[in-house]
């Protein structure tokens, strides 16, 4: 009897990749908005495909990526320590400036201790799975960033997701669980697509009522909002009421890496048990030095925070007055809702041709039918650049029938 050729019957694990043709189709239509290489940048103006455009899609909130003092600090660190640490913090990769940065961040955030991670993504992914284990429960906002979602998936804890920013739903979920179980509520402090703040006073109240811990990811809040840029909890004067706060260095701090602050014993536990910390190479010297200098500038030049708030208010009001739907943004992240995916890509392309670079965001990052272009601003944007951005949005919005030109939405989105 002939043997069956099982290889002919089995499914190729690469089939999903071979069948994924949407990107090629969008590229062929000239509408692909991702992975655009920047060939030059001064922070607010970038060169892409030989064209100079205003950058209105960066997280360079304080405008420090090209600051001469920051660049000099990075150069000095490379000359002193070399280009990398070639090891994990746990073994041979700890420099004196790593410890200095941890001390200064803990002091700045008014917490007992701080631990650094090599990226902001790793900070949440690596901390959550370490803190929440078997027999614990994580309560996670449905719109939390992907790194939080992955952290909950890696954890052995049970995870329940509450409706976005819906503390009534969160209360119901808390009421259903055993009061003796270890519980932690995790939320973005500022949500990265909508630019809205979490309902921190209510989260604090629920955490205290149900004996839960509270963890905020302040990637888009530290160096942006609150008391001297200390983030979302400080907006409400509640830093002391939040157990753990994570942040990133890839935004306001003009570098790469992340951190977690909290009580000393909790941070020490994360430092010694988080796989993402123990088994990853430590932040390179130039990155650490950049953050140290950016933190120093943040504390000394408070005008940057004032200017950022002024710009955010101006652009939010300007886009609303033109007739755009910007959801409930409260920060320098200001979304402009377009509609379906292809319309979003066409809108993005016309803005680019008009000299403005933004980010096209499509499902599942946003609800179906609410694809949007995400704008974000730096303290170093000039008034002239802001008005040029608004004029580009006006022209493109009218062209695409999203606004009428008289300050009213043309269509429901």
> Residue 411: pLDDT band by 50, 70, 90 thresholds?
very low
Q: Are 208 and 240 in contact (CB under 8 A)?
A: no
pLDDT of residue 408: 64
Write out the E strands in 121-201: 136-141, 158-162, 182-188
d(CA 140, CA 165): 10
- Could you say which of 145, 220, 277, 293 is catalytic? 220
Is the Cα dihedral 187, 188, 191, 196 positive or negative? positive
- 145, 251, 277, 381: the catalytic one is 251
Give the residue, 393 or 6, on which the prediction is more confident.
393
Q: Which two tokens stand for residue 407?
A: 């300050």
Average pLDDT over residues 195-215: 98
Predicted TM-score (pTM) of the model is 0.95
**Residue 220 annotated as catalytic:** yes
- Concerning whether 192 is annotated as a catalytic residue, the answer is yes
Strand partners of residue 185:
139, 214
Are 380 and 44 within 8 A, CB to CB? Answer: yes
Which CATH fold would you assign to the domain 24-55+303-399? Answer: 3.90.1150
Helix (H, G, I), strand (E, B) or coil at 2: coil
Q: What is the residue extent of each domain of the chain?
A: 24-55+303-399, 68-300
Candidates 257, 248, 260, 246; CA nearest to 287 is 257
- The pLDDT confidence band at residue 413, using thresholds 50, 70 and 90, is very low
Average pLDDT over residues 259-280: 97
Would you call 349 a catalytic residue per the annotation? Answer: no
Question: For the structural domain made of 68-300, what CATH number should be given?
Answer: 3.40.640.10
Considering 58, 140, 192, 246, which one is annotated as catalytic? 192
pLDDT tens for each residue of 80-125: 999 999 999 999 999 999 999 999 999 999 999 999 999 999 999 9
**Model confidence pLDDT, tens digit, residues 281-313:** 999 999 999 999 999 999 999 999 999 999 999
| 71 vs 122: CA distance, rounded Å | 25
The CA distance from 230 to 224, in Å, is 8
Same topology between domain 24-55+303-399 and domain 68-300: no
Q: With bands split at pLDDT 50, 70 and 90, how would you rate the model's confidence at 405? A: confident
């Amino acid at each position: 009897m002939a043997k069956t050729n099982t290889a002919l019957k089995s499914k190729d694990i690469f089939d999903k990749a071979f069948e994924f043709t949407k990107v090629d189709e969008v590229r062929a239509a000239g509408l692909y908005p991702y992975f655009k290489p920047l060939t030059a940048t001064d922070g607010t103006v970038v060169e892409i495909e030989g064209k100079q455009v205003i950058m209105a899609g960066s997280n360079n909130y304080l405008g420090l990526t090209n600051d001469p003092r920051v660049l000099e600090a990075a150069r000095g660190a490379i000359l002193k320590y070399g280009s990398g640490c070639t090891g994990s913090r746990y073994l041979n990769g700890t420099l004196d400036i790593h410890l200095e940065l941890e001390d200064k961040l803990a002091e700045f955030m008014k917490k007992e201790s701080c631990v650094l991670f090599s990226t902001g993504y790793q900070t949440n992914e690596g901390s959550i799975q370490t803190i929440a284990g078997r027999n614990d429960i994580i309560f996670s906002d449905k719109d939390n960033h992907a790194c939080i979602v992955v952290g909950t998936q890696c954890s052995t804890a049970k995870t329940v997701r509450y409706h976005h920013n819906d503390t009534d739903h969160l209360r119901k979920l808390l009421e259903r669980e055993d009061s003796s179980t270890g519980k932690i509520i995790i939320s973005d402090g500022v949500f990265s697509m909508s630019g809205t703040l979490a309902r921190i006073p209510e989260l604090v109240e629920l955490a205290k009522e149900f004996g839960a811990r509270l963890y905020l990811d302040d990637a888009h809040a530290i160096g942006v909002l609150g008391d001297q840029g200390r983030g979302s909890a400080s907006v409400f004067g509640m830093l002391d009421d939040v157990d753990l706060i994570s942040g990133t260095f890839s935004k306001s701090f003009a570098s790469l890496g992340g951190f977690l602050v909290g009580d000393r014993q909790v941070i020490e536990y994360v430092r010694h048990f988080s796989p993402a910390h123990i088994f990853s190479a430590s932040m390179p010297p130039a990155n650490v030095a950049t953050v140290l200098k950016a933190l120093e500038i943040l504390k000394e030049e408070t005008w940057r925070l004032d200017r950022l708030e002024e710009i955010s208010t101006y652009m939010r009001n300007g886009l609303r007055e033109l007739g755009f739907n910007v959801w409930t943004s409260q920060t320098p992240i200001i979304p402009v809702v377009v509609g379906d995916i292809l319309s979003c890509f066409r809108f993005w392309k016309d803005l680019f041709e008009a000299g403005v670079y933004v980010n096209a965001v499509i499902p599942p990052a946003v609800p179906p039918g609410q694809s949007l272009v995400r704008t974000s601003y730096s303290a170093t944007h000039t008034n002239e650049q802001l008005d040029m951005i608004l004029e580009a949005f006006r022209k493109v919005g009218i062209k695409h029938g999203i606004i009428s030109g008289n300050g009213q939405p043309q269509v429901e989105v």
